[in-house]
Amino acid sequence: MTAKIAYDDVEVGTELPAQTFTVTRDTLVRYAGASGDFNPIHWNERFAKAVGLPDVIAHGMFTMAEAIRVVTDWTGDPGAVVEYGVRFTKPVVVPDDDKGATVEVAGKVAEKLDGNTVRVDLVATSGGQKVLGMARAVVRLA
């Protein structure tokens, strides 16, 4: 499968459809089971606070994976992502309630590169704070 977006149809500044993702404690338990990351900062409020965190926090790799969904949904092909990297700037704090936390993600084509690839810059926030820095993906388009 190849990306559904044509390289020639994309310009620098093209905005990808923004998305909001909900993260609950249940989400974290399920992710821990799938990833094998059972660090108590992701499920035990008492432990998280004892090590200086405000509450239980989402797994960084989970947050990173949710953010790239903006790109893969845009391209229609997860295999179109050639390169992806982020810096973790703030944790996603997940309260123990029915609402959980939200992660808002927006993306924009920042540069057209060689070989039908583009660089997409992502902005991910939660609770009004940027949670990923230098979030960039290189994507091969049709």
What ranges do the domains of the chain cover?
7-140
Rounded to whole angstroms, what are the CA distances from 54 to 12, 51, 62, 86, 107?
39, 9, 19, 22, 28
- 60-75 helix and 25-35 helix, angle to the nearest 10 degrees: 90
Work out the end-to-end distance of the chain between its first and last CA atoms, rounded to an integer number of angstroms. Answer: 10
pLDDT over 80 at 3, yes or no? no
pLDDT at 2: 67
Q: How far apart are CA 89 and CA 60, in angstroms?
A: 10
pLDDT at 1: 63
Q: How far apart are CA 15 and CA 2, in angstroms?
A: 20
Choice between 1 and 5, residue whose per-residue pLDDT is larger: 5
Choice between 91 and 4, residue whose per-residue pLDDT is larger: 91
pLDDT tens for 65-91 read 999 999 999 999 999 999 999 999 999
- CATH code, 7-140: 3.10.129.10
